[in-house]
Amino acid sequence: MSRWEHESVLEAMQSRLDQAPEMMRIRRQTVEHPFGTLKSWMGATHFLTRTIDRVSTEMSLHVLAYNFKRVLKLLGSNALMTAMKA
């Protein structure tokens, strides 16, 4: 029998979650929502590129578009254009 070299990290995380299950609920609300939105809005169900550098670039572009869309929704187009000109 063998263990993965980082198995202790997973066990420590599981222990923390068992002691405070609300942590995972908060994480789902704050972190996982944008990823679900990316998949829904942009059809980003899988990456179109290969290699870590290209996938990282693709993900960065998705996140940039997500953030831009959020700013546009929060500020509105006129306020955003004014801020960009400043």
Confidence band of 37 (pLDDT split at 50, 70, 90): confident
- The two three-digit tokens of residue 17, written as one number: 């979650």
- What's the rounded Cα separation, in Å, for the pair 46 and 18? 31
pTM value? 0.59
Q: Give the span between the Cα atoms of 48 and 84, in whole angstroms.
A: 31
Q: Model confidence over 2-20: pLDDT tens digits?
A: 888 999 999 998 998 899 8
Give the 3-state DSSP-derived string for 18-70, with helices as H, strands as E and coil as C. Answer: HHCCHHHHHHHHHHHHHHHHHHHHHCCCCCCCCCHHHHHHHHHHHHHHHHHHH
